[in-house]
Amino acid sequence: MAGRVQTAFAERRDGDFAITSETRALEAARAAIAPYPWTWLEQVHGAGVVVVSVPGQWAGARADGSVTTVPGAVLSVQTADCAPVLLWGTGPGSGAGPVVGAAHAGWRGLYEGVVEAVVAAMRDLGAHDIGAALGPCISPAAYEFSERDLTTMALRFGPEVVAATSGGLPALDVPAAVRSALRTTGVDDLDVSRWECTATALDAGGAPRYSSHRARQDVTRQASAIWIEP
């Protein structure tokens, strides 16, 4: 349906979405999810955000977030353990279309403010009533984290991000950090129904469901995408 917001969270079986993978296979994997031009990013674990004015604009840009109001413009992020955050909001004025955004939220990007930057860019485009969805990322049970960096993240996002691994070692709760970042922008609507741990989730055959750099040193990536149907 024209104007409808669509989201997709790929799994390992959907192909390798690393931007260094073989071009033809990568293009086919993208088209199988959304047959429109993709804005994919050379992610740098920062807070840079691009505004997409035509489908496919800024493909390959060095940034970690993107926003658009343009139907048929697919916004995407590639992840293994970092958090993919997809956002949508109502556009300005009567009859206006939606505003959508995507954020690649690793711990460094979270600290730098990538989630807040995407929300701000969406609001610059007139978005209100913003909601978000968290895709697969690593769970604290599998994410040992240095005590020094954990203290830094706790000062930034609150004590709720402090956790422990399944073995009792210090860990960062990435989903809690995403929720905290959204809350500071006034966004309380976070859908976690598609969240699973990238390090431990298995498919029906017992194989890893997702790529994980931390658990298996995977160089493959899964994609998360959001777009407005033209």
What is the model's pLDDT at position 185? 98
In a domain, 161, yes or no: no
pLDDT in tens, 191-227: 999 999 999 999 999 999 999 999 999 999 999 999 9
In a domain, 222, yes or no: yes
What is the model's pLDDT at position 45? 98
Mean pLDDT of 16-38: 95
Name the band, by pLDDT with cuts 50, 70 and 90, for residue 35.
very high
What is the model's pLDDT at position 22? 83
Q: Which of 194, 201, 175, 164 is nearest to 7 (CA)?
A: 194
pLDDT in tens, 41-55: 999 999 999 999 999
Mention every residue, 6+ apart, whose C-beta is less than 8 A from residue 75: 39, 52, 66, 67, 68, 86, 100, 101, 102, 225, 226, 227
In a domain, 165, yes or no: no
Would you state the structure tokens that stand for residue 109, as one six-digit string?
A: 């990007």
In a domain, 84, yes or no: yes
What is the model's pLDDT at position 96? 77
Mean pLDDT of 100-117: 99
Mean pLDDT of 158-165: 98
What is the model's pLDDT at position 1? 54
What is the model's pLDDT at position 103? 99
3-class DSSP state of 79: strand
Mention every residue, 6+ apart, whose C-beta is less than 8 A from residue 200: 139, 141, 142, 215
Name the band, by pLDDT with cuts 50, 70 and 90, for residue 2.
low
Name the band, by pLDDT with cuts 50, 70 and 90, for residue 94.
low
In a domain, 52, yes or no: yes
In a domain, 143, yes or no: no
Mean pLDDT of 4-20: 96
Q: What is the CATH number of the domain that holds 119?
A: 3.60.140.10
Number of structural domains in the chain: 1
Question: Mean pLDDT in the chain?
Answer: 96
Mean pLDDT of 57-65: 98
In a domain, 182, yes or no: no
**Could you list the residue range(s) of the whole structural domain that residue 210 is in?**
5-138+187-228
In a domain, 91, yes or no: yes
Mean pLDDT of 168-196: 98
3-class DSSP state of 175: helix
